[in-house]
Amino acid sequence: MNQRDWVEYFEAINGRKPTMQEFQEAREKGEFVMEQKDVPAPTPVTPAPASQEQAPTQEVAVAPSAPFSQEFTAFVPPQPSAKTLQPVPGQKGPKLSFNKPTKFGLAVVAIVTAITLVWIFFFTGTQSLNGIWLSNTDSMPVVYELNGKTKKVNTTLPIKKIIEGKEAEKEFVQKLSALNLPNIQTLADVDKKFHLKTKEVVIFKTDGLALYNLLQSNGTNVIFSDDLDDLAYYKSNLSEFKKRAVFQKIEYPDVLVGKWKNVTNNDDHLVFQITKNGASNTDVTAIYPLVDTDRINDKSGNSHSSDDKINTEFKQVQKEIKNQGYTVNSAREVYKEAYTNSYIVPVDGGKKVIVLDKDYNFKSMVEKVK
């Protein structure tokens, strides 16, 4: 099995691209044979950026996105892990009629080149933008869907153009200069003013909307829209800037991915399909573990949660779930929906999901569709 075949096989089994570590481990185990002709040419992948809020109480209108609790969106129980790839016996490559030093040198060059190209193909800054981005738990998410043929923002806005590298940085600086902000004329000035460490600028353009993504060295993403108004508005309020403009990537819980049916009302059995990006039809949502609330809101990188507050919320949720005839045993089994602050609780072994509003009142229940 050559490298390209192995990558295709991995994607078919796992539903995603392999990580760099998985690629290297597979190569070392002999699961595929890497020949120079098998090395894929670097193919730029274009992820879509997230939009940012433009005013203190107004978010960037990148796309319509309805909260999960309003749509009674469905969830799926934890899905079985993908099969482990079985090692494939190593195949002997064609023998070269060079002396040993030459063969060794060529092998080293081939391996280094292959790893470099694979890294570029799978792990570019643009590709890292794919997924759900959230600035804080009271905000709506920005979702970039970049793996399909059509790249989209919040499931409804096709991305018409992607600008990267020096060209993207140049356009950002041109927009920045139009603001005429004292002491903020370059990307370096922006980093200094707002305590950022920008490693790359990526611009996504849809019909009538431009999204400027400043990817940070710590994995976060600063998102501006169109005329960079947020820079001017928050230039004197660093904490508010970080709350509204700095986005973190959120992993949508696997237990909630799948096809679900609303069973709350007999005359309203709506069926929804939720993707790994939290998208359903024309709606998107961000769901995160209750225990991660403080981590998401704390832009300093602190991973600790307020145990007292989490336990208080959990006790209230546990009580209402019991009133509905089900049980939940740990705060780690409880999720929250960004913006609405509704509680999302898988029950009955993941076959059903109960939605409570922010005041712990029962709102709806969805059931897994086989």
The answer to whether position 25 is within a domain reads no
The answer to whether position 93 is within a domain reads no
Q: Which residues pair with 245 in a beta bridge?
A: none
The answer to whether position 242 is within a domain reads yes
At 138-175, the pLDDT tens digits run: 999 999 999 888 999 998 899 999 999 999 999 999 99
At 18-69, the pLDDT tens digits run: 766 666 667 667 777 665 444 444 444 444 444 444 444 344 445 444 555 6
Token code pair at residue 262: 């609303």
With a pLDDT cut of 70, the percent of the chain lying above it is: 68
The answer to whether position 81 is within a domain reads no
Q: What residues make up the domain containing 198?
A: 45-73+129-250
pLDDT over threshold 80, residue 275: yes
Indicate if 59 and 188 belong to the same structural domain: yes
| CB burial of residue 108 (10 Å; 0-12, 13-18, 19+) | exposed
How high is the pLDDT of residue 219?
94
Distance separating alpha carbons of residues 229 and 211, to the nearest angstrom: 12
pLDDT over threshold 80, residue 357: yes
At 166-188, the pLDDT tens digits run: 999 999 999 999 999 989 999 99
Q: Are 70 and 338 in contact (CB under 8 A)?
A: no
Dihedral sign computed on CA atoms, order 249, 255, 260, 262: negative
Instruction: Specify the range with the lowest mean pLDDT, choosing from 110-119, 222-231, 284-293, 351-360.
Output: 110-119
Domain end, chosen from 206, 233, 250, is at: 250
* Rounded to 5°, angle at Cα 328 from 325 and 330: 165
The answer to whether position 27 is within a domain reads no
Indicate if 240 and 287 belong to the same structural domain: no
Indicate if 50 and 190 belong to the same structural domain: yes
Total domains in the chain come to: 2
Mean pLDDT of the chain: 78
| CB burial of residue 44 (10 Å; 0-12, 13-18, 19+) | exposed
Indicate if 232 and 332 belong to the same structural domain: no
Indicate if 244 and 282 belong to the same structural domain: no
Indicate if 200 and 62 belong to the same structural domain: yes
Dihedral sign computed on CA atoms, order 257, 260, 263, 267: positive
Distance separating alpha carbons of residues 78 and 91, to the nearest angstrom: 37
The residue ranking higher by pLDDT, 107 or 206, is 206
Indicate if 60 and 178 belong to the same structural domain: yes
Q: Are 351 and 368 in contact (CB under 8 A)?
A: yes
Domain end, chosen from 226, 250, 274, is at: 250
Q: What is the 3-state secondary structure (H, E, C) of the chain?
A: CEHHHHHHHHHHHHCCCCCHHHHHHHHHHCCCECCHHHCCCCCCCCCCCCCCCCECCECCCCCCCCCHHHHCCCCCCCCCCCCCCCCCCCCCCCCCCCCHHHHHHHHHHHHHHHHHHHHHHHHCCCHHHCEEEECCCCCCCEEEECCCCCCEECCCEECCEEECHHHHHHHHHHHHHCCCCCCCCCHHHHHHHHCCCEEEEEEEEECCEEEEEEEECCCCEEEEECCCHHHHHCCCCHHHHHHHHEEEEECCCHHHCEEEEECCCCCCCCEEEECCCCEECCEECCEEEHHHHHHHHCCCCCCCCCHHHHHHHHHHHHHHHHHCCCCCCCHHHCEEECCCCCEEEEEHHHCEEEEECCCCCEEEEEEECC
Indicate if 239 and 318 belong to the same structural domain: no
Indicate if 278 and 294 belong to the same structural domain: yes
The answer to whether position 351 is within a domain reads yes
Indicate if 326 and 283 belong to the same structural domain: yes
Look-up of token digits 């922010």: 358
Domain end, chosen from 250, 266, 281, is at: 250
The answer to whether position 217 is within a domain reads yes
pLDDT over threshold 60, residue 108: no
What's the predicted TM-score (pTM) here?
0.66
The answer to whether position 28 is within a domain reads no
